[in-house]
């Protein structure tokens, strides 16, 4: 029997009525001849309520107990979904993590999958059950304690089950109808993509397109699980939503697939740092320890630049989220106080935003960067920092130009046109 995995997020199971809607979509797939594994999140708001109780009880909580409490939201939804399906004459059974058992590491709050044995669920399918409803976001440690996977873990659960059971596809039902070339709130020309490659999706997800959790896309890419993102609020059929898949499945891919952006970026520059081997480690080690997510890094060319010093000096620029600037400043000042680094001053610019163009076609097409810089120049937008990878080009610009930049780039790369 062909098998599908279907995952419903918090807003898709927010109340009994939404659960019924979701169950109808499951029943439709069963009617098409599939066995179905359904992964459910907690009803919207429930996990936050539980997290709030834990935080209020114990600010420095024991992660084992946090997991025991917080995982209960998904258990409730799983049981209610199984009951709803049974009411529709679809033979269904719910499974909590330990019942499968979903074996994970002991890293409570951020556990990783070790194994998902198929035997128990396969036995139920063999008995005539058509649907296994799994509480997402959780598992069980080697010590027999409940673990959770961290936020967004239900997407990851869905992909892991799709890999373990060789599912034909993994459908992620959410409150948006697919992946867009960019955020439609910024340009009405944004177009829903029919297909996107894993690599592109990863760049878009980590850059701010919050539809799919990054880790679930990584896992899908590794196990070649075809992921589909679609809306539980719409009528849907086999061609709905966006398919995230291997690039070989995408026949004619455009040079640029989408535009990502991040509004609250800061640019920090250490002016006149000694230019010696190991200086980057001396700077970014303390920042990492302080929990600063450094993104772009640029080091100026410094050969023969002494600026009156005895040894060569340079400037070091990096970006991070605005709300981490205070932590970054503190870490750098402490490093300077212990003489592990020396610099003249720290310049901080908190008025930045990041815009990125993403596309696997870039690998074989030159000129994307030039086209991007020209489009920005025509609008008079100054570029503060540039960073590139194999399939993306990111620039840091003044925050006030962010929308304008996205709109111009969307036009410049003709993203409103399909294929």
Summarize as ranges the residues that interact with a copy of itself (CB under 8 A). 16, 19, 50, 53-54, 56-58, 61-62, 64-66, 68-69, 72, 75-76, 78-80, 82-84, 86-87, 93-94, 96, 98-99, 120, 144-146
Dist. CA 269–CA 318, nearest whole Å? 7
Contacts of 285 (CB under 8 A, 6+ apart): none
Q: Which is nearer to a copy of itself, 61 or 223 (CB)?
A: 61
Residue 55 gets the label, from left (phi > 0), alpha (psi -120 to 50) or beta, of: alpha
Contacts of 329 (CB under 8 A, 6+ apart): 268, 346, 348
Q: Which is nearer to a copy of itself, 90 or 268 (CB)?
A: 90
- Min CB(138)–a copy of itself separation in Å: 12
- Min CB(82)–a copy of itself separation in Å: 5
Q: Which is nearer to a copy of itself, 69 or 294 (CB)?
A: 69
101 upstream amide cis, omega within 30 of 0: yes
- The dihedrals phi and psi of 50, each to the nearest 5 degrees, come to -65, -45
- Min CB(262)–a copy of itself separation in Å: 35
- Min CB(54)–a copy of itself separation in Å: 6
- Min CB(28)–a copy of itself separation in Å: 19
- Min CB(256)–a copy of itself separation in Å: 47
Dist. CA 153–CA 408, nearest whole Å? 35
CA dihedral over 243, 247, 252, 254, signed as positive or negative: positive
Q: Which is nearer to a copy of itself, 54 or 159 (CB)?
A: 54
Q: Which is nearer to a copy of itself, 98 or 198 (CB)?
A: 98
Directed axis angle between helix 46-57 and helix 72-87, to 10°?
Answer: 160
Q: Which is nearer to a copy of itself, 144 or 278 (CB)?
A: 144
């Amino acid at each position: 029997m062909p098998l599908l995995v279907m995952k419903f997020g918090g807003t898709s199971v927010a109340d009994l009525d939404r659960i019924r809607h979701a169950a109808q979509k499951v029943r439709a797939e069963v009617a098409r001849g599939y066995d179905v594994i359904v992964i459910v999140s907690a009803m919207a708001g429930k996990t936050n309520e539980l997290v709030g109780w834990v935080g209020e009880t114990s600010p420095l909580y024991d992660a084992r107990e946090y997991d025991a409490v917080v995982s209960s939201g998904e258990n409730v939804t799983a049981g209610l979904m199984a009951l709803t399906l049974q009411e529709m004459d679809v033979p269904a059974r719910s499974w909590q993590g330990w019942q499968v058992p979903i074996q994970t590491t002991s890293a409570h709050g951020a556990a990783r999958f070790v194994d998902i044995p198929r035997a128990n669920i396969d036995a139920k399918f063999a008995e005539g059950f058509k649907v296994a409803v799994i509480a997402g976001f959780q598992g069980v440690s080697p010590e027999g304690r409940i673990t959770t996977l961290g936020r967004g873990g239900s997407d990851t659960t869905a992909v892991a089950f799709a890999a373990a059971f060789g599912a034909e596809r993994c459908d992620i039902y959410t409150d948006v109808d697919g992946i867009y070339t960019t955020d439609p709130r910024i340009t009405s020309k944004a177009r829903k993509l029919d297909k996107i490659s894993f690599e592109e999706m990863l760049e878009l997800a980590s850059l701010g397109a919050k539809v799919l959790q990054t880790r679930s896309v990584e896992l899908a890419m590794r196990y070649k699980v075809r992921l589909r993102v679609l809306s539980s609020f719409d009528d849907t059929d086999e061609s709905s939503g966006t398919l995230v898949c291997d690039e070989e499945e995408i026949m004619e891919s455009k040079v640029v697939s989408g535009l990502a952006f991040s509004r609250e970026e800061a640019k920090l520059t250490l002016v006149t740092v000694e230019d010696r081997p190991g200086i980057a480690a001396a700077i970014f080690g303390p920042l990492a320890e302080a929990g600063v997510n450094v993104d772009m890094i640029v080091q100026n060319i410094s050969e023969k630049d002494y600026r009156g010093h005895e040894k060569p000096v340079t400037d070091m620029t990096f970006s991070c989220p605005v709300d981490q600037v205070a932590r970054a400043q503190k870490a750098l000042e402490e490093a300077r106080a212990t003489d592990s680094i020396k610099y003249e001053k720290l310049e901080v610019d908190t008025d930045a935003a990041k815009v990125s163009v993403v596309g696997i076609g870039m690998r074989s097409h030159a000129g994307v960067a030039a086209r991007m810089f020209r489009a920005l120049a025509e609008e008079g937008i100054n570029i503060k920092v540039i960073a590139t990878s194999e399939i993306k080009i990111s620039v840091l610009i003044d925050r006030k130009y962010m929308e304008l930049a996205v709109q111009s780039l969307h036009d410049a790369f003709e993203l409103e046109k399909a294929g």
